[in-house]
Amino acid sequence: MTSIETSRLVLRPCREEDHDLFFELSSDSEVLEFFPFRRSREDADAIFTMIRDMTPEPGFDLLVMTLKESGEAIGLCGLSKPKLEPYLPAETVEIGWRIAARHWGKGYATEAGIALLHYAFNTLKLNEMVGIAVESNLAVLAVMRNIGMKSDPACDFDHPQIPDTHPHLKRHTVYRLSAAEWHALQAGQAPR
């Protein structure tokens, strides 16, 4: 994937120097409030290397959000296929992001999310995008609404990969946005 630019961000493929950012985002208790566990440095480095060395399907790279002005890496984002059958169909594509806590509240997740939707619908020609989050993760749910996604309560589910030791993290909310709705939003029309 080539880099995606927004007014303030560059979304680019992972590089070797992104190990520290990946560890920060995998170990910070504030960032991981809605995840069941933190990663050690060794585990985070091994996972990062595995992700970086994978050859993903075109358009499904893990991207690093960097500030255009300084080049500082501030988070991760991208499109993925979550493999959550029978809760979601096999062809489901999920949008996601994770940002270092020191950069929260500045609109970067919304900016990256809009850029990813533009890429998904205009370049990859996908038909639908899904967002999934713990039902009490109000900040992520707000970003999903900000980028035009709508809640689909009929598809909410208890995440099978969340251990029973963390019952407060099991329930996940599903948000959706179709390509037709996205194009209507971009044209300034009310989605049907």
pLDDT, one tens digit per residue, over 125-136 is 999 999 999 999
Is residue 79 over pLDDT 60? yes
The H or E element containing residue 99 is strand 94-99
Q: Is residue 13 part of a domain?
A: yes
Average pLDDT over residues 145-151: 97
Which ranges in 69-107 belong to alpha helices (H)? none
Dihedrals phi, psi of 159, to nearest 5 degrees: -65, 120
Helices (H), the chain: 19-27, 41-53, 108-118, 138-146, 179-186
The answer to whether residue 140 is domain-embedded is yes
52: in domain: yes
Within-domain flag for 51 = yes
- Give a yes or no: residue 103 inside a domain: yes
In angstroms, what CA-CA distances link 137 with 141, 179, 186?
6, 25, 27
Dist. CA 179–CA 40, nearest whole Å:
39
Provide the sign of the torsion angle of the four alpha carbons 81, 86, 87, 91, taken in this order: positive
Q: Residue 167: helix, strand or coil by DSSP?
A: helix
CATH number at residue 116: 3.40.630.30
Say what the pLDDT of residue 59 is: 85
Q: Is residue 55 part of a domain?
A: yes
Range of the domain at 159: 4-186
pTM metric for this prediction: 0.92
Please give the average per-residue pLDDT across 114-127, as a whole number: 96
DSSP 8-61: SEEEEE--GGGHHHHHHHHH-TTTTTTSS----HHHHHHHHHHHHH--PPTT--
What was the pLDDT predicted at 192?
A: 46
Confidence grade of residue 104 (pLDDT, cut at 50, 70, 90) = very high
User: Mean of the pLDDT values across residues 45-56?
Assistant: 81
Domain assignment present for 191: no
Whether 192 is covered by a domain: the verdict is no
Domains held by the chain: number? 1
Average confidence score pLDDT of the chain: 92
What pLDDT score was predicted for residue 10? 97
Kindly report each contact of residues 144-148 with a partner whose C-beta sits within 8 Å and lies 24 or more positions away, as own/partner. Answer: 144/113, 144/175, 145/175, 146/110, 146/113, 147/110, 147/113, 147/114, 147/117, 147/177, 148/117, 148/177, 148/181, 148/182, 148/185, 148/191
Q: How far apart are CA 8 and CA 44, in angstroms?
A: 28
